[in-house]
């Protein structure tokens, strides 16, 4: 289904799928007299909850993204993310705000399966991109969020798009429900960038732990203190490198280990989803283990044996293969649940 927000008559909308019904319900909520809408948080770093967000601030966020990507009235976008979360809602709000044509596609693992036309904008999770490589050349601007984009996926994207010779640009996002989706983008194709570029009118700094602080009055009236360890490029720039969540830091024998960095290292060698965890240990405090999604094989073990860890204590004490790594409803790895299973 396609909605043209330059000429939309809400009275004539007829939903054919459950997802379309959810989108229409959100449109009713958006065009109601209420100044706020309800949004569900993902629960990837804590207990999921419902928060209320001002529509005016969502419009501000939409304009920032549309301006950064140079989206114009009449351009075509595709929404394929759950509408309960900020990621899906903001795709609809961007379409409303910039008067885009919006294609509605169920948030499945293969949301581009029926796509046979060029579109200007889409937001997807890494897992969706992994299963849609044959169609991403149809997209002019693709943003990927919800989880880090692995080196393996970046390589697959580059190999695919080089063959198609299209002007596709792909970005990794940084954001959260409280920042109304992303506040920064990092180009991964065609010119890979090491740092996230923060939108204009947003200021960043760090606290004494080197965790990111966000001042974005157009999006949130409070200064947002995160638990994300970052490295700001220099004192005069609004660019930063994400190092990992301080909640996830593993203290093993007195050494601090950043699991996200080790996961990035491992994903350069194997395509599987991987998670490093610190499990309680009497002598070390926390024992470093590596969880790998999928069946153990000689090929995987050979690939794992070639990994060059920078420090001895970065090498996991134990490697465990599991059929499935638990995820939150919007596809993020659920570290809390995974840790509780193994502890």
pLDDT in tens, 68-113: 999 999 999 999 999 988 999 999 999 999 999 999 999 999 999 9
Strands 119-124 and 139-144: parallel
- What local confidence, expressed as pLDDT, does residue 45 receive? 52
Q: Which pLDDT tens digit goes with each residue over 197-227?
A: 999 889 999 999 999 999 999 998 889 999 9
Nearest CA among 117, 136, 118, 120 for reference residue 128: 136
Where exactly are the structural domains of the chain? 2-200+234-243, 249-342
- What local confidence, expressed as pLDDT, does residue 11 receive? 59
Nearest CA among 170, 180, 126, 128 for reference residue 148: 126
Strands 101-104 and 76-79: parallel
CA dihedral 314, 319, 322, 326 (to 10 degrees): -20
Q: How many CB atoms lie within 10 A of CB 220?
A: 18
Average of pLDDT values for 115-124?
96
Residue 151 has pLDDT above 60, yes or no: yes
- What local confidence, expressed as pLDDT, does residue 136 receive? 96
Query: Using CA atoms, how far apart are residues 303 and 310, in angstroms rounded to an integer?
Result: 17
Residue 13 has pLDDT above 90, yes or no: no
Residue with tokens 């351009």: 75
Per the CB < 8 A criterion, the answer to whether 78 and 150 are in contact is: no
Residue of higher predicted confidence among 143 and 340: 143
Give 144's contacts (C-beta < 8 A, 6+ positions apart): 123, 124, 125, 126, 129, 170, 171, 172, 173, 188
Residue 46 has pLDDT above 90, yes or no: no
- What local confidence, expressed as pLDDT, does residue 44 receive? 53
Nearest CA among 238, 235, 245 for reference residue 278: 245
Query: Using CA atoms, how far apart are residues 124 and 108, in angstroms rounded to an integer?
Result: 10
- What local confidence, expressed as pLDDT, does residue 41 receive? 76
Per the CB < 8 A criterion, the answer to whether 67 and 202 are in contact is: no
Query: Using CA atoms, how far apart are residues 55 and 30, in angstroms rounded to an integer?
Result: 8
Per the CB < 8 A criterion, the answer to whether 210 and 254 are in contact is: no
Residue 9 has pLDDT above 80, yes or no: no
- What local confidence, expressed as pLDDT, does residue 123 receive? 97
Query: Using CA atoms, how far apart are residues 184 and 190, in angstroms rounded to an integer?
Result: 18
Residue 47 has pLDDT above 80, yes or no: no
- What local confidence, expressed as pLDDT, does residue 152 receive? 81
- What local confidence, expressed as pLDDT, does residue 43 receive? 57
Query: Using CA atoms, how far apart are residues 257 and 279, in angstroms rounded to an integer?
Result: 13
At 42, the pLDDT band (50, 70, 90 cuts) reads low
**How many residues comprise the chain?**
343
Lowest mean pLDDT among 8-12, 149-153, 178-182: 8-12
pTM of the model: 0.81
Average of pLDDT values for 155-163?
91
Architecture of domain 2-200+234-243: 3-Layer(aba) Sandwich (3.40)
Nearest CA among 103, 108, 97 for reference residue 120: 103
Average of pLDDT values for 166-170?
93
Q: What CATH class is the domain 249-342?
A: alpha beta
Residue 78 backbone class (left: φ over 0; alpha: ψ -120 to 50; beta: rest) = beta
The proportion of the chain whose per-residue pLDDT surpasses 70, expressed as a percent, equals: 97
- What local confidence, expressed as pLDDT, does residue 174 receive? 95
Q: Which pLDDT tens digit goes with each residue over 217-266?
A: 999 888 999 999 999 998 777 999 998 889 888 999 888 898 998 998 99
């Amino acid at each position: 289904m396609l909605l043209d927000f330059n000429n939309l008559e809400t009275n004539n909308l007829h939903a054919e799928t459950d997802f379309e019904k959810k989108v229409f319900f959100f449109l009713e909520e958006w065009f109601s007299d209420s100044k706020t809408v309800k949004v569900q948080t993902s629960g990837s770093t804590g207990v999921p909850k419902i928060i209320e967000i001002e529509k005016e601030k969502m419009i501000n966020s939409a304009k920032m993204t549309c301006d950064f990507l140079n989206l114009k009235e009449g351009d075509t976008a595709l929404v394929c993310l759950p509408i309960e979360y900020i990621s899906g809602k903001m795709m609809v709000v961007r379409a409303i705000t910039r008067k885009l044509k919006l294609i509605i596609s169920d948030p499945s693992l293969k949301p581009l399966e029926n796509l046979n036309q060029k579109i200007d904008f889409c937001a997807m999770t890494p897992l969706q991109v992994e299963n849609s490589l044959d169609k991403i050349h149809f997209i002019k601007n693709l943003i990927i969020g919800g989880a880090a984009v692995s080196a393996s996926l970046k390589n697959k994207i580059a190999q695919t798009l080089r063959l198609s010779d299209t002007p596709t640009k792909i970005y990794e996002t940084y954001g959260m429900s409280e920042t109304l989706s992303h506040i920064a983008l990092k180009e991964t194709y065609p010119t890979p960038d090491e740092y996230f570029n923060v939108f204009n009118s947003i200021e960043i700094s760090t606290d004494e732990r080197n965790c990111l602080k966000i001042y974005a009055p157009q999006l949130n009236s409070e200064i947002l203190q995160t638990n994300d360890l970052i490295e700001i490029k220099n004192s005069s720039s609004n660019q930063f490198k994400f190092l990992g969540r301080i909640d996830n830091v593993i203290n093993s024998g007195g050494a601090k280990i950043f699991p996200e960095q080790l996961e990035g290292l491992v994903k350069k060698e194997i395509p599987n989803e991987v998670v490093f965890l610190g499990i309680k240990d009497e002598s070390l405090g926390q024992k470093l283990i590596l969880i790998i999604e999928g069946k153990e094989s000689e090929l995987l073990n050979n690939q794992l044996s070639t990994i060059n860890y920078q420090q001895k204590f970065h090498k996991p004490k134990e490697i465990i293969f599991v059929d499935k790594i638990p995820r939150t409803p919007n596809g993020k790895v659920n570290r809390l649940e995974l840790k509780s299973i193994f502890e």
